[in-house]
Amino acid sequence: MTVITMTREMGSLGKDVASGVAETLGLQVVYHEVIERDIADRMKLGESDVNRFLEGKPALSDRLKIDKDQLSHYTAEEIYDIALEDKAVIRGWGAIVLLRSVPHILRVRVCAPMSFRVRVMQDRLGLENEQDVRREIERNDAAHTRAVHGLLKSDWQGPLNYDLVMNTERVPVSDCVRQVVALAGSTAFEKTTSSQQILSDLIVEHRVRNAIASKEDLAISVRNVDISFGDGELVLTGLIENRKIGQALYQELKGISGVNSIIDHLTVVSAYQG
């Protein structure tokens, strides 16, 4: 089947493009609300708390009770799980960035100039004050940028994050849909055993990183340890203070689903300075 990731830019008509693509290809459109609900359940938080944080508009109480690293890992896992189902258009929340190394997943940006986006939102919301609408769009863009950069350390607007960029001021929605459908059906985005393995490896690597992050003492002790994973083999490289840390790390990671073997290239440094 097909997985397509697409940006979520207010007033760009991206929602219409996503709906058209999904209808044509028989895919599910996965909006950020679905991901937020699942993350909130896993973190035992209110959905509104997660929404505010991901929108880049957290209250002080949200900052105190939400672990950003944990939220980052859960967000990644939710997106990877959806990608594994292989039948979705995923809009927003860093799917573009998280899945960029998976060859068979198409990454699309639907954008438009600010003046066009303002007109679209004025029509949709029935608002007359252009400046108010412009400020809301600018706030939304800034919040989205902060959230993605804070969680994923990436610039979601960078052109190299995308396979296809379309300006809906110049290209009608119907033509955008045709372009995406055509590209999704090309051999360039055909799923292979190799590309599917890349996705599976990404999921396991995030399970590993989440397991480490969930143990605060261990995470601090192995902050200078590099992790790489592929084909069931987890490789640990870097400096540790003593062998007990390496043993604790091994015990924590050996039972993770997908990890078949752990290769220890850790070096004990007695005068370890962190």
Residue 151: the pLDDT is 59
Residue 63: the pLDDT is 44
Please check the confidence at residue 136 and state whether its pLDDT lies above 50.
Answer: yes
Give the mean model confidence (pLDDT) for residues 81-107.
89
Best CA proximity match to 173, nearest among 118, 112, 114: 112
DSSP for 45-110, written as a single string: --HHHHHHHHTT---HHHHHH--HHHHHHHHHHHHHHHHHHTEEEEESTTHHHHTTT-TTSEEEEE
Torsion of CA 206, 209, 215, 216, to 10 degrees: -130
Q: How far apart are CA 99 and CA 6, in angstroms?
A: 11
Q: How much of the chain, in percent, has pLDDT values that exceed 90?
A: 51
259 pLDDT band, cuts 50/70/90, is very high
At 29-50, the pLDDT tens digits run 987 554 555 455 555 555 555 4
Strand, helix or coil for residue 265: strand
Residue 45: the pLDDT is 54
64 pLDDT band, cuts 50/70/90, is very low
Q: Which domains does the chain have, with CATH numbers?
A: 2-192 (3.40.50.300), 215-268 (3.30.1340.30)
Please check the confidence at residue 70 and state whether its pLDDT lies above 70.
Answer: no
Considering the chain, what is the average pLDDT of its residues? 84
**pTM of the predicted structure, to 2 decimals:** 0.78
**Most confident range, picked from 145-149, 153-157, 162-166, 254-258:** 162-166
At 177-223, the pLDDT tens digits run 999 999 999 999 999 999 999 999 998 988 898 888 888 888 888 88
5 pLDDT band, cuts 50/70/90, is very high
Cα-Cα-Cα-Cα dihedral sign, residues 19, 23, 24, 28: positive
Best CA proximity match to 58, nearest among 69, 68, 44: 68
Residue 96: the pLDDT is 87
Give the mean model confidence (pLDDT) for residues 153-167.
86
Angle formed at CA 251 by CA 246 and CA 253, multiple of 5 degrees: 95
